[in-house]
Structure 1
Amino acid sequence: MGIFLLPYAILKACFHLQVSAGAWQTSLTYGMLMTADFFAVICFSALNRRRVNQRVKKRDPHWVGLSTGILAVGYREDPNLLEGCLKSLRAIRYQRNQRVMLVVDGNEQQDEYMAQIFMKIFETQGAAVFRPDFLCMDREASDKAREDLVRQLAYHPGPVCVMQPHRGKRSAMYTGFAALLQQGIESVVVTDSDTYLDPAVCKELAFALAESPIVGAATGDVRIYNTGTWVSFLSSLRYWFAFNLERGAQSYHSVVNCVSGPLGIYRMSIVADVMDSWVKQSFLGVLCTYGDDRHLTNLVLREGYKVKFSHYAVCYTDTPIRFIAWVTQQTRWSKSFFREIPIQLGCMHLHSPWMTYALLYQLIYPMMMIYNLVNCIYFGTGSQIAWWMFSIMLVGWMKTAYAVRVTKDKKFFFTTIYGFLYMLGYVPAKIYAALTLYDNSWGTR
């Protein structure tokens, strides 16, 4: 029982709330805050969707913008997923896409199959495989071996695959960034080796950057294709809300706080300025492995640039199908969130107040939910518990109504069930992440 009372004790100490069996004000306030947040998010996300729709409607059918290069990274990926990813890259339709690059985070015999699949998919397009025995991140920009490798990657006429020593996703992305900079490409579209991109992705993401020179990055609508279990199915619903509502609202204020790893675009001029500090990010003296997407996004925001979301840029990616694997993923993401808070606090003055609000809400809301749950269980009356459950279900129903109206998809009627997954998995994962920030390796492959 002591464990369950801990959140209550912490929050009572922080907020000096008076708890009693008839304390309706706590649950009432909680319900009102949830409802107010929901309507604010709905309002801003709808305005962002309308703004993007209007820009796309006015766009010339033959519009072309910044040149792009596609950078996919992977480590011992499932062969079928990798093949699907590469086929989607081959199908990209944007005349200014000047490079397709796969960087494999490994160069041992067990990794060789990834290069073979790459060559099979791009065999008619002059593809080539490069196998450096060093990492670009370990060499100075003036190092001859690095210069030679980057030059070969940049000027090879067809798609390229790089197989480099295993160090993690950041080191793989860094190599790709270095090559694209050498080639003079204006923007990079990043993705993962288990993700399928829509053919129009490069055009739509480049169009998002074209809104203004101060837009430094953008992301799109990340969807889930492996929805065969309840965990992955409910996650797919959550993804839609996370991108189309939360990031949509953030995009209206130009402060999307995380350009998702499976789908994003960055101006290369900004990447050039931040890539060295990004790849060598450390926390408590340990080199960071996960959280590359959130950190790179925050570095863009710290430079004063805006970050956008476009629902026209679509991809399909993989999500854990088992509960434990899903909790592991949420723990890793939560650690990244907590680790990035100081950076966001340091650049809030450069951006809309919505950035501050979104950060505080993500930080406090899980604790508020725990506080109300404990309050209801240990101190509440039956009517108070009923009101608490009703307030949660009411917001869930409103989300369902909005999603069904926008998508015309009846699967969103299951949205309220996600609340159980949230309470049983996400909230404990967030607490555990906050208590184990010192562990930099837990939750990675």
Structure 2
Amino acid sequence: MFLDDKPFGRDADHRGYAGFRGRCVPISRQIINVIGCALAIPLYYLTTAHSRYPVTLDIVITIALTEFNRYVIEGRRSAFHGRYLGFSEHDFEGSTEKEHHIPDIEKRPTSAKLKCLAAVVGWREDPALYARALESYKTSKACVFLLAGIDGDEEEDQDMVKVFKKTYPERSAVIQIPEPFGPIAERVRSQALAQMRRQDEPLDGAEADAIAMQYCVELAKSILVQHNLGIGAPGGVRHLCLKQRHMHKKGIMFTAYIFSLVIADILGVEFLWSSDSDTIVFPDSLERTINTIAHDPNAGGASSGLVIHNSQETTITKLASAVYWGELYLTRSTPACTGTSDCQSGPSTAFRLAALPEILVPWYLQKALGKRMIVNEDRHLTTNLLLRGWKVIFASDVLTATDTPTTMARWLKQQVRWARATHIESLLHPRVYATSHPLLFYGMAKREFGPAIGAIAIIWYFFTSQQLIVFSASDLLFRVLVGFVYNFLRNPDRLTGKGLLWVAPSILFYYVPLPAVHLWSMLTMGADGWGTTMRASGERARKESLRKAWFETGFFVAWMGILGGVAAKALGIYFCMVWHERMAATLVGTMVGAFLAWNITIGAS
């Protein structure tokens, strides 16, 4: 059943989730981590302000960490296979350093295999894309049960139900959930705290969370019993669709995860794969991602790398595909080698089910800046794991295919939404740096402060003509060349010849708006809403108001105006224009830059 021989979420007396407590990071370890974080600040300063080639040095450090992460995850797989096949540390006693290795398991007649439950959630997805997503799980080597969660029960939501029934006509069922489990958990938790107050007991939020969790689990069990699905029995249901009234992605994820815990307990499955309705998995995506955490009982989650399956749809998708290839693969690898990946990407996430019971209720009820948060679901799940001492792995050599926005406006909205979630998790949960390796703090400092400093420097130059930062063209060129060569040689996503042609323009596509995205998302951290509409035809046809369009992408218009003015001002200084000529050139450059940005964002919508 479970590799650590402990059922998830149960204590030794089998009293249920109310007795569950997760891992605790020792105080001594937390002190060491805080000291490491303090040392990371001068280290980052030395590699930037006191380096002739700071950008090139940064990419070299990132590549080194990426390679080390690849080495670590291969070691994790080898350890798992060795344990599965009965090898132990005693088999290697007396070996020399060069001989100390796991035997070549590829030559063995059997290999380790893991089984997991897959939860796929979505709302008003394009039917054709949803069908492709569900179909892809049929070839998965590890999936033994598929749970589809649909966030909506109105007429427009029936398209997804029909796709599910058509894709899995046998051994499948559809259940209408009377009330989403999120509000139920919130209500039960409030009642538990109220009872503690009445009895003059100390308010214990963790105990109230556990009581709410136990109630939801028992409710899920009763619903499954009522429908008599025969899960785990010969001929029983293996594909289940849950639908509930429309809330948000976090709402359907919470319900799906509760049912996943119950179903996995029935099947004796230890791992959960979580994905979106626009994601296509490859035959080995689930198994090779889970293999990286299977051997280590302290590893609570993992995620795979991502590629774009609609890369040929528009110019924007071609550029986005090159961005995923050249930038995101390296960026996500920075802290991952220490088991502190700070974002389990929503389309391709695996969990050890033992890690979920304690974190689901506080994750669902998260508040930031006085507001309930609903759009940072993947990052906050990761933060909750790290806060409780679980390791989070990035399986960078495994690929899963996801969808990307097809227009500039939708791409910018997606980037702002992701950036807001990043700021919230990076800046509003400082305790995570005490429970995690200092490399997590180093990656955060580089990600949070670098683009902000760049944005401020450019705006300062626009208004004062004074340079706060000196940019080196040779440094930027070396950085691009080093990154390109490394990705060409080592990136698991093997771009074709045509795809490689988009790499150079993708660098401008990603980095030109990055400072503005970073700054605007930081100033609007408390903004909620998904930004982009879903891909169903009815949702795509909805038109947003001009006021909303300006709020969501107007920052890009202003930023491109500033960049246009900065370019014109720099040219004016280079050609020794007089003051009034430089002012005129700056004004024209600002207007041209702003108009072009408006034309491809607000004007296009």
Give the aligned partner of residue 108 of structure 1.
Answer: 154
Q: Secondary structure of 2:311's partner? A: coil
Q: Which residue of 1 aligns with 2:120?
A: 72
Judging changes above 3 Å, is the alpha-carbon distance between structure 1 residues 133 and 268 closer, same or farther for their aligned structure 2 residues? Answer: same
Check whether the contact 1:73–1:104 (CA below 8 A) recurs between aligned residues: yes
What TM-score results when the alignment is normalised by the length of structure 1? 0.85
- Deviations, residues 64-83 of structure 1 (Å, cap 9, x unaligned): 45541100001000011100
Query: Quick one: distance in 1 between partners of 2:413 and 2:230?
Result: 37
In structure 1, the residue matched to 2:136 is 88
2:412 maps to 1:320: no
Q: Residues 335 and 356 of structure 1: is their aligned pair in 2 closer, same or farther, counting only changes over 3 Å?
A: same
Does residue 220 of the first structure (1) align with residue 304 of the second (2)?
Answer: yes
1:405 Cα deviation after fit: 1.5
Unaligned runs of 5+ in 2: 1-45, 79-103, 189-213, 534-605
- Per-residue deviation, residues 283-316 of structure 1 (Å, max 9, x unmatched): 2332211110000011111111111122343211
1:391 and 2:475 equivalent? yes
2:220–2:259 contact (8 Å) kept in structure 1: no
- Is 1:263 the counterpart of 2:344 in the alignment? no
Give secondary structure in 2 for the equivalent of 1:133: coil
Distance in 2 separating the partners of 1:367 and 1:82: 38
Q: Find the counterpart in structure 1 of residue 9 from structure 2.
A: none
Note the 1:109-124 alignment, pairs <5 A: 109-124=155-170
Would the aligned equivalents of 2:452 and 2:518 in 1 still touch at CA under 8 Å?
Answer: no
The residue aligned with 2:83 is none
Offset at residue 201 of structure 1 (A): 1.8
Which residue does the alignment assign to 1:276? 361
Q: Give the partner amino acid of 1:427.
A: P
Question: Following the alignment from structure 1 to structure 2, what is the Cα–Cα distance between the partners of residues 444 and 324?
Answer: 9
* Match in the other structure for 2:62: 41
1:27 & 1:189 partners in 2: Cα distance? Answer: 39
Q: Which amino acid aligns with 1:225?
A: H
Gapped regions of structure 1 (runs ≥ 5): 1-24
Q: How does 1:369-408 map to 2 (within 5 A)?
A: 369-373=454-458, 378-379=465-466, 388-407=472-491
Preserved contact between residue 219 and residue 263 of structure 1 (Cα < 8 Å): yes
Asked if the contact 1:247/1:256 (under 8 Å) is kept, the reply is yes
Alpha-carbon deviation of 1:406?
1.8
**Counterpart in 2 of 1:136?**
181
Q: Distance in 1 between matches of 2:413 and 2:392?
A: 28
Contact 2:68 2:337 in 1 (8 A): yes
Q: CA RMSD in A?
A: 2.7
The answer on whether the counterparts of 1:251 and 1:307 sit within 8 Å (CA) in structure 2 is yes
SS state of the match for residue 356, structure 2? helix
Deviation at 1:26, TM superposition (A): 13
> For each residue in 1:244-276, what CA deviation from the matched residue of structure 2 results, as whole angstroms up to 9, or x when unmatched?
322233221211110000001011111111001
CA distance in 2, matches of 1:312, 1:247: 12
Counterpart Cα distance in 2 of 1:109 and 1:295: 32
Q: Distance in 1 between matches of 2:524 and 2:145?
A: 40
1:418 partnered with 2:506: yes
Report the structure number with the largest CA radius of gyration.
2
User: How far 1:158 sits from its partner (Å)?
Assistant: 1.9
Residue 247 of structure 2: aligned partner? 167
Aligned residues: 415
Amino acid corresponding to residue 401 of structure 1 in structure 2: V
Deviations 1:195-219 (A, max 9, x none): 1001112211220112411111101
Letter in 1 for 2:58: D
| Partner Cα separation in structure 1 for residue 406 and residue 278 of structure 2 | 14
> Structure 1 stretch 59-68 or stretch 182-191: which is displaced more?
59-68
Residues 88/142 of structure 1: CA separation in 2 closer, same or farther (3 Å cut): same
Match of 2:414? 329
Cα 1:127–1:199 change in 2 (3 A) is: same
- Letter of the structure 1 residue corresponding to residue 182 of structure 2: M
* CA contact 1:219–1:264 (8 Å) conserved in 2: yes
Give TM-score scaled by structure 2 length. Answer: 0.64
